[in-house]
Structure formats: C-alpha cells, structure tokens
Amino acid sequence: MSTIGHFLEFAVRTPDVLESLRFYTSLGFTELECADVYRHKYAVVSDGELNIGLHDADFDAPAITFVQADLARHARSMTDRGFEFDFVRLHDDAFNQLRFRDRDGHSVRMVEARTFHMSEDAENDSLCGSWFELSLPVRDTVRAARFWAPIAPALLEMREEPTTHMRFDAAGAPLGLSESIALEAPSLCFRCHDRASLMAVIEQSGIAYEKYPGFEGAFAALRAPEGSMLYLFDEDFLGEAYEVDESGDPADFPG
C-alpha cells in the first residue's frame, strides 16, 4: 500500500444529504451502508469504482479521501518528508484523520479506516457510464506533478497539446491534472455508453445540464445539488483524437 493508502471517496459538503442522494441515485448510483464514525449526517453513493461521500458538515471540500491503517505512523513519516498538515486528529479514543493540500490548494484527507461497506449492487456503471478521471484544475501541470508523483508514482497518461494534461494512478483513483481554463473545480469525468438513456432520465427527473460545456470535448455537464460537476464524454479525451459535433442534433438531446 502506498504512503497515502488506498482511494476511499470523493468527499463533498452538502447542506441537504437527501437532495444529493436523490440526484445520484436517479442517475443509477447505489447508496451504500455507512459505518457510525461521524457525528454529522453522512451518506455514500457508488458505481463500484467511484465512491462519493456526502457530508453535512463544515470542512474544506471537496476532498480526495484515502484510507490508511496505522495512520499515526504514516503521519510521522510524511512529516519527516516535508508534508505540512492543515488538520490532524490522532488519538486512541477518536476516529483518526488528517488533511493536507496540494500545490494548487486542493484538499486531501486520510482516515484510519473505511467509513462505509461496499455492496454487490454497486458493481455496475451508473447511467453516466464509466468513471475515468477525477480532474483537478492546476496552474502548472508539471509543477503540480512534482507534488503528486512521489505519492502517486504511476503515470497513466500524458498529453502536451493543446494544454498539458497528466493522469496518475493515485492509489486507485485516476487523478488528472488539467490546465484547461474551462475547469473551475475538482470534477468527475465519465465515458457515457448510452447517451439516449441518460438523457431520457435527465429529462424525466428535471435535472439541469449544460450542452457542450467547453471542457475537453464533453457533450454535457451536470451540476449536482451540492455543486459537484460531472462531465460526460463519448470517449476518454486522452485516448484517440476527438472531434466535437456541436450541431445540437435533436436526436442527441431532449427538448
């Protein structure tokens, strides 16, 4: 297991857990059973690969969250290697966790144990399709990579033009570093297998979306009630070269 452990969840702050739950489950995500470790309201949805933690709590969100046993020992080792923590709770009678930031200010959390239980019902893709990247907006991809490479040493993909983009395996999370000016906050990217079915559910549920949002050729972007952005693609944008058809064909979108 790496220094930061294993990817656990994309933790977001929501003032209405039930509203966010309805949004994600309407898109085919599965609600998981949570452990009793937090005092605040907490729920998790999953597609078997991506877990989204919905927290009704005041914390620096969104936060890429990893689980690491023997957290105290790893915290000491990370301190010796120059990591600076924003928050540390390491007590025998508490749920241990810590938080630090990358060079662009994105929040990273580590906790001592899993906070939910996986389910066989969550082993299928949601209607959004296959999750392929958690994208972080960065000022300088190479500079950001110098931070992430020691704790996520596996470089999965790299592109230099039209903007520099790197994708790392961050302990189970496909983590993208993007210089795109269209990306405003940490966001989730999916390769949609069935656009027609997804759009039918979006229309039926009254979910607002943006056509062709301008990020890496996505055909649509959904904003969850708590503000998380979900970008939908026909193909992985780091795969073969893509061309975006923005003709607005009524067969592609409802309404």
Domain ranges of the chain: 6-121, 130-233
CB 103 within 8 A of CB 40: no
Q: What is the pTM of this model?
A: 0.91
Is pLDDT above 90 for 62? yes
- Looking at domain 6-121, which of 3.40.630.30, 3.10.180.10, 3.30.559.10, 3.30.360.10 is its CATH number? 3.10.180.10
Tell me the mean pLDDT in the region 98-114.
96
Neighbours of 90 (CB within 10 A): 14
Per-residue pLDDT reduced to its tens digit, 219-234:
999 999 999 999 999 9
Give the pairing of strands 229-233 and 187-191.
Answer: parallel
pLDDT, mean of residues 94-101: 94
d(CA 45, CA 122): 8
For the residues 98-121, what does the mean pLDDT come to? 94
CATH number corresponding to 130-233: 3.10.180.10
